[in-house]
C-alpha cells in the first residue's frame, strides 16, 4: 500500500506519495496559509492530502497512513504541538486530534528534523545504521537522533533540540534568546553574519564581487571564495568548520553514532565541507585515539528525507 | 534470591549483597590491586565475591547474578573495557569473558556512572521516573542517562560520557586533553582550582582560615565560607553554579528528563546547592517559558547507588 508523507513549512505544505521501497511517486504542495491561524493550516493539510490522493488516482482513505512533519516542538505521542515559531498561533495546540478528525486513515506526527533523520536512516545516507546523529543546517540548526535503531526524542518527545545545546557558554546570542547555542555558530544564518563581518573588515576580498554578481550574501559566498583562495573567505570557512566540528564532537561523545549526517543547503558543499569536518573531528572527541570517530557524511535525500521519514515514522 | 553488586574503584573493590527490595544486606571490600595489572584485578573481584557470599552465609553460586561497575569506557554487551584510566593496563581488555570464567553465575558489567543512575532510578531519588539525567560530581564528572525507562548508553555502549561534552569551546583544558569540557568547569577538581585562585587573589578571605583548620582546600571550602557571606567564596560558588546550571540546561535540551540528579560529595551541600541550580536553570533551557524545566534533586543513595545499580543492570 502507499503512504502519504507531509512536510509543513512556514511557506508551503509539501506532500509526497511514498511506496514501500521508499520511492516518492507523486509530489504536490499548497501554500501553508499560516496567517490564517491553526485551523486554516490544519484544513490546508487535509486539502494537500486530497490533492496528493487525486494525483495518485486514489482517495485519501486508500493510503495506509499519513505522516506529518512539523517545524516545532511537539509530543509525538499526544500530538500536541507545544511551540512552532514559524506558524502563527501554534502554541499548545492539539494538532494530531485536529487533523485526525479530517483524515480517514491513521495519522502520525513528528518534528521535521526528526522526520529527516528517519528518512535518511531508512533510505538515505545512513541506511542500515543503528545509531545516527543528523544536523540540518539552515536558518536554524535542526537535530535528529536514531539510537539503537529507534528515533530518539527524549522525555515527552521534546528533547533532541540539538541546535540549542551549548557550544560556547556566554557567547553569541541565539535567535532563541539564550547565549552560545550551537545554532548561534553553525546555522547558515550565523555563517552569513560572519561572512558579512569579514567582508566589512576586508574591502579587498573577492567576496564583494561574488556577492554582487549573486545579488546577495548567502551560505555559498564564503565557501565559493574560499575555494579560490580568498584569505578572508578561507578564515570564515575555517572558523565556521571549527565550531561545527566541536559541536559534532560533543554530540558524538553523548550518542556515539555510527555516522553523523549533515543536511540542509550547506551540504551541497559536499566533500569540500565534509573533508574539513572529518579532519577536525578527532580533536573534539573524548578518547578518539582509542575508539576512533564516526564518519561525517552528506545527507543524500534533500527535502525528500522529511517526506519519506514522515510517511514511515512508525518504522523507527 | 540475592544478587551481588560490585563497584570497582581505583583503590578499593566494594561489593554489596542486595535483595529484591534493593536493600544492601552485607558489604565487603578489598584493595583493588591495580598495580598488578588486569588479571590481578579480575582475581580480586572474584575474591570479593567469595567474601561477600561468605558474609551472607552463601556460596557465590547461590547469587542470582553478579553485576560489576567499572570506572571506564566499556561496551556492556561485549564486556570489552576500551579504556579505564585509573586501572593500569586496562585498554581493550575482554573483561566480561575474563571474570565470567571465575564466577559460576551470570555476570553483567556497566560503566560506574551508569550503574549509579540505574540505582537511583530503581531505588533512590528518581524512583519511578522514566527519563533521568544524573551527574556525579567528583574528581571528574560522571554521567548517566535513563531514557524511556531504559539505561541509555549510546552506540557500542560508549556514549553518555556527559562530562566531556563541550560547555565552553576553546576554554579551560580538561584532564582528558580537550578544551572546554563540562568536567573542566563542574568537577570538584575544577571547583578546588577556582577556590585556590580566589584565595590567592583575596588574602582577606575567611577561606584561608577555614582551609587551615580543615587541613586542606576541598570542595567544601568555598561553599561553607559562602554560607558565611565571604565575598570571594560567594563569587566562586556563583561562578561554579552558573557553569553547572548551563551544562545541565544543555542536557535537559537533549534528553528532556523528568528529573536531574546530582551525585558525588558536593551533593552534601543539599538545598544550598540545589536551590541555586534550580533558580538558574530556566535561563539555560530552550523554551523553558513554555514547557518548563525539570527539578534538580540531590541523589540520595550515595555510594550504594552504584552497588544497587550494578546488581540490577538488567532491570533497565
- Residue B86: predicted pLDDT: 85
Contact B161 A254 (CB under 8 A): yes
Give ipTM to 2 decimals.
0.96
- Residue A85: predicted pLDDT: 84
Q: Are A184 and A208 in contact (CB under 8 A)?
A: no
Residues A101-107 have a mean pLDDT of 98
**Sign of torsion, CA B82 B84 B90 B94?**
negative
> ∠B310-B313-B316 over CA atoms, to 5°?
145
Residues A298-314 have a mean pLDDT of 97
Q: Which residues of B68-100 are buried (b: 16+ CB within 10 A; e: fewer)?
A: bbbbbbbbbeebbbbbbebbbebeebebbebbb
Q: Which one of B178, B284, B290 has the shortest CB-CB distance to A82?
A: B290
Backbone angles phi, psi at A254, to 5 degrees: -80, -45
How does DSSP assign A232-275, residue by residue?
A: HHHHHHHHHHHHHHHHHHHHHHHH--SEEEEESGGGGGHHHHHH
User: Over its length of 316 residues, how does chain B's per-residue pLDDT go in tens digits?
Assistant: 999 999 999 899 999 999 999 999 999 999 999 889 999 999 999 999 999 999 999 999 999 999 999 999 999 999 999 999 889 899 999 999 999 999 999 999 999 999 999 999 999 999 999 999 999 999 899 999 999 999 999 999 999 999 999 999 999 999 999 999 999 999 999 999 999 999 999 999 999 999 999 999 999 999 999 999 999 999 999 999 999 999 999 999 999 999 999 999 899 999 999 999 999 999 999 999 999 999 999 999 999 999 999 999 999 9
Pair A19, A102 in one domain: yes
Residues A73-96 have a mean pLDDT of 93
- Residue B277: predicted pLDDT: 98
Q: Confidence class of residue A86 from pLDDT cuts 50, 70 and 90?
A: confident
Q: Which three cell numbers stand for residue B241?
A: 553554579
- Residue A111: predicted pLDDT: 96
Res. A308: pLDDT tops 90: yes
Pair A102, A156 in one domain: no
Pair B87, B152 in one domain: no
Pair A15, A75 in one domain: yes
Q: What single-letter DSSP state applies at residue B157?
A: G
Cα B133 from Cα B144, distance rounded (Å): 6
Pair A78, A23 in one domain: yes
Q: Is A251 left (phi over 0), alpha (psi -120 to 50) or beta?
A: alpha
Contacts of B148 in chain A (CB under 8 A): 155
Number of H helices, E strands in chain B: 11, 13
- Residue B209: predicted pLDDT: 98
Cα B237 from Cα B235, distance rounded (Å): 5
Task: Give chain B's domain count.
Answer: 2
Contact A250 B291 (CB under 8 A): no
Pair A91, A231 in one domain: no
pLDDT digits (tens, 9 = 90+) for A117-135: 999 999 999 999 999 999 9
**Domain membership of residue B239 as a residue range:** 129-298
Strands A3-8 and A66-70 come out as: parallel
At B308, which helix (H) or strand (E)? helix B304-311
Pair B100, B247 in one domain: no
Q: Are B248 and B284 in contact (CB under 8 A)?
A: yes
Pair B176, B281 in one domain: yes
How far away is chain B from the Cα of A309, in angstroms, using its nearest Cα?
A: 21
Pair A156, A246 in one domain: yes
Q: Which one of A82, A256, A287 has the shortest CB-CB distance to B291?
A: A82
Pair A288, A202 in one domain: yes
How far away is chain A from the Cα of B247, in angstroms, using its nearest Cα?
A: 7
Q: Which one of A160, A180, A181 has the shortest CB-CB distance to B254?
A: A160
CA distances from B137 to A227, B5, B36, B143, B186 (A): 46, 22, 28, 9, 7
Pair B137, B271 in one domain: yes
Contacts of A152 in chain B (CB under 8 A): 147
Contacts of A168 in chain B (CB under 8 A): 168-170, 180
Q: Which three cell numbers stand for residue B84?
A: 579505564
Backbone angles phi, psi at B189, to 5 degrees: -55, -45
Contacts of B161 in chain A (CB under 8 A): 253-254, 286-287
CATH number for A89 = 3.30.420.40
Pair B106, B192 in one domain: no
How far away is chain B from the Cα of A148, in angstroms, using its nearest Cα?
A: 7
Amino acid at each position: 500500500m502507499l503512504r502519504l508523507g507531509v512536510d509543513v513549512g512556514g511557506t508551503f505544505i509539501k506532500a509526497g506519495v511514498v511506496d514501500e521501497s521508499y520511492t516518492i511517486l507523486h509530489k504536490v504542495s499548497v501554500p501553508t496559509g499560516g496567517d490564517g491561524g491553526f485551523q486554516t493550516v490544519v484544513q490546508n493539510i487535509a486539502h494537500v492530502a486530497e490533492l496528493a490522493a487525486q494525483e495518485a488516482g486514489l482517495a485519501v482513505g486508500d493510503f495506509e497512513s499519513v505522516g506529518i512533519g512539523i517545524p516545532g516542538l511537539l509530543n509525538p505521542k499526544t500530538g500536541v504541538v507545544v511551540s512552532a515559531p514559524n506558524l502563527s498561533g501554534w502554541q499548545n495546540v492539539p494538532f494530531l486530534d485536529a487533523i485526525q478528525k479530517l483524515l480517514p486513515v491513521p495519522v502520525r506526527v513528528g518534528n521535521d528534523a526528526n522526520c529527516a533523520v528517519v528518512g535518511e536512516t531508512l533510505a538515505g545516507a545512513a541506511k542500515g545504521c543503528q545509531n545516527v546523529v543528523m544536523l540540518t543546517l539552515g536558518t536554524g540548526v535542526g537535530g535528529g537522533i536514531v539510537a539503537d535503531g529507534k528515533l530518539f526524542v527524549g522525555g515527552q518527545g521534546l528533547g533532541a533540540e540539538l541546535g540549542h545545546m551549548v557550544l560556547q557558554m556566554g557567547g553569541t546570542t541565539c535567535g532563541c534568546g539564550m547565549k552560545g547555542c550551537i545554532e548561534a555558530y553553525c546555522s547558515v544564518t550565523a555563517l552569513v553574519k560572519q561572512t558579512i563581518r569579514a567582508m566589512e573588515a576586508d574591502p579587498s576580498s573577492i567576496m564583494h564581487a561574488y556577492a554582487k554578481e549573486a545579488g546577495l550574501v548567502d551560505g555559498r559566498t564564503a565557501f565559493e571564495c574560499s575555494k579560490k583562495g580568498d584569505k578572508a573567505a578561507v578564515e570564515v570557512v575555517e572558523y565556521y568548520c571549527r565550531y561545527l566540528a566541536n559541536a559534532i564532537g560533543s554530540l558524538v561523545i553523548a550518542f556515539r553514532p555510527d555516522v553523523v549526517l549533515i543536511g540542509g543547503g550547506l551540504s551541497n558543499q559536499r566533500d569540500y565541507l565534509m573533508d574539513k569536518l572529518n579532519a577536525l573531528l578527532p580533536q573534539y572527541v573524548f578518547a578518539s585515539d582509542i575508539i576512533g570517530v564516526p564518519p561525517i557524511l552528506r545527507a543524500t535525500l534533500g527535502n525528500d528525507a522529511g517526506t519519506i521519514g514522515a510517511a514511515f515514522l512508525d518504522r523507527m
